[in-house]
Amino acid sequence: MFDFSPEFLFSVFNESPKEFREFGGKGLSPRPVEKADPSIYFYPSVMIYFFLNFVGYLINCGATRRSVIDGRVWLPDGNFISAGTSKSLTVPGLVPTLSTVRSFPLENKNLRRKFCYVVRVYRGARYLIRTTYYYGGVNGLDFDSPPVFDQIVDGTFWSVVNTTEDYGKGLSSYYEGVFEAKGNTMSVCVASNTYTVSDPFISSLEMLILGDSIYNTTKFDSHALHLVARHSFGHNGSIIRYPDDQFDRYWQPYEENVSVTASKKIPAVSGFWNIPPSKVFETALSTAQLESMELRWPPFSLPNSTYYIALYFADNSDSMSSNSRVIDMHINDVRYYSNLVLSSEGAAVFATRWPLGGLTKITLSPAANSNGSPLINAGEIFDVLRLGGRTHTRDVIALEELKNSLRNPPLDWNGDPCLPRDYTWTGVKCSEGERTRVISLNLTGMGLLGSLSPSIANLTALNGIWLSNNSLSGVIPDLSSLKLLEILHLQDNQLTGEIPSSLGEMKSLREL
Considering only CA atoms, give the Rg of the chain: 26
Cα 351 from Cα 380, distance rounded (Å)? 11
Of 194-198, 224-228, 318-322, 432-436, where does mean pLDDT reach its minimum? 318-322
pLDDT beyond 60 at 53? no
Parallel, antiparallel, or unpaired for β 252-254 and 223-233?
parallel
Of 27-41, 126-140, 376-390, where does mean pLDDT reach its minimum? 27-41
**What is the pLDDT, as a whole number, of residue 255?**
72
Question: pLDDT tier at 433 (50, 70, 90 boundaries)?
Answer: confident
State the DSSP string of 96-141: GGGSEEEE-----TT--EEEEEEEE--TT-EEEEEEEE--TTTT-T
Q: Which residue has the higher pLDDT, 317 or 16?
A: 317
Parallel, antiparallel, or unpaired for β 464-466 and 487-489?
parallel
Cβ proximity of 207 and 121 under 8 Å: yes
User: HSE (CB half, 13 Å, CA atoms) of 203?
Assistant: 25
Render pLDDT for 76-109 as a digit per residue (tens, 0 to 9).
Answer: 999 999 999 999 999 999 999 999 999 998 876 6
Q: Could you give the percent of the chain with pLDDT greater than 90?
A: 70
Cβ proximity of 342 and 327 under 8 Å: yes
**What is the pLDDT, as a whole number, of residue 42?**
24
**What is the pLDDT, as a whole number, of residue 325?**
85
- DSSP 3-state of 230: strand
**What is the pLDDT, as a whole number, of residue 39?**
24
Domains and CATH numbers, the chain: 20-212 (2.60.120.430), 226-386 (2.60.120.430), 400-505 (3.80.10.10)
- DSSP 3-state of 94: coil
59-66: average pLDDT: 96
Q: Which residue has the higher pLDDT, 198 or 511?
A: 198
pLDDT beyond 70 at 29? no
pLDDT beyond 80 at 32? no
Question: pLDDT tier at 23 (50, 70, 90 boundaries)?
Answer: low
pLDDT beyond 70 at 34? no
User: HSE (CB half, 13 Å, CA atoms) of 223?
Assistant: 16
Cα 65 from Cα 75, distance rounded (Å)? 7
pLDDT beyond 80 at 427? yes
**What is the pLDDT, as a whole number, of residue 502?**
82
Question: pLDDT tier at 30 (50, 70, 90 boundaries)?
Answer: low
Question: pLDDT tier at 318 (50, 70, 90 boundaries)?
Answer: low
Question: pLDDT tier at 324 (50, 70, 90 boundaries)?
Answer: confident
Q: Which residue has the higher pLDDT, 150 or 50?
A: 150
Which of 320, 215, 209, 211 shows the shortest CA–CA distance to 263?
320
Under 8 Å CB-to-CB from 435, ≥6 apart: which residues? Answer: 392
The CA-atom distances, in angstroms, between 112 and each of 58, 107, 193, 326, 371 are: 27, 10, 5, 53, 59
State the DSSP string of 360-408: -EEEEEE-TT-SS--EE-EEEEEEEEEP---B-HHHHHHHHHHHHHBSS
**What is the pLDDT, as a whole number, of residue 288?**
80
Say how many residues make up the chain.
Answer: 512
**What is the pLDDT, as a whole number, of residue 262?**
62
**What is the pLDDT, as a whole number, of residue 393?**
94
Q: Cis ω on the peptide bond leading into residue 298 (within 30° of 0)? A: yes
What count of other Cβ atoms lies within 10 Å of the Cβ of residue 145?
14
Under 8 Å CB-to-CB from 34, ≥6 apart: which residues? Answer: none
Q: Could you give the percent of the chain with pLDDT greater than 70?
A: 85
Render pLDDT for 353-375 as a digit per residue (tens, 0 to 9).
Answer: 999 999 999 999 998 888 888 99
Q: To 5 degrees, how large is the angle CA 343–CA 319–CA 377?
A: 45
Cα 304 from Cα 433, distance rounded (Å)? 26
Of 228-232, 313-317, 379-383, where does mean pLDDT reach its minimum? 313-317
pTM: 0.87
* Beta bridge mates, 26: 174
**What is the pLDDT, as a whole number, of residue 270?**
56
Q: To 5 degrees, how large is the angle CA 389–CA 456–CA 495?
A: 150
Of 129-133, 346-350, 463-467, where does mean pLDDT reach its minimum? 346-350
pLDDT beyond 80 at 36? no
What count of other Cβ atoms lies within 10 Å of the Cβ of residue 115?
25
Render pLDDT for 132-178 as a digit per residue (tens, 0 to 9).
Answer: 999 999 999 889 999 999 999 999 999 999 999 999 999 999 999 99
Parallel, antiparallel, or unpaired for β 471-474 and 449-451?
parallel
Which of 277, 24, 19, 21 shows the shortest CA–CA distance to 174?
24
pLDDT beyond 50 at 182? yes
Question: pLDDT tier at 179 (50, 70, 90 boundaries)?
Answer: very high
Question: pLDDT tier at 46 (50, 70, 90 boundaries)?
Answer: very low
Question: pLDDT tier at 394 (50, 70, 90 boundaries)?
Answer: very high
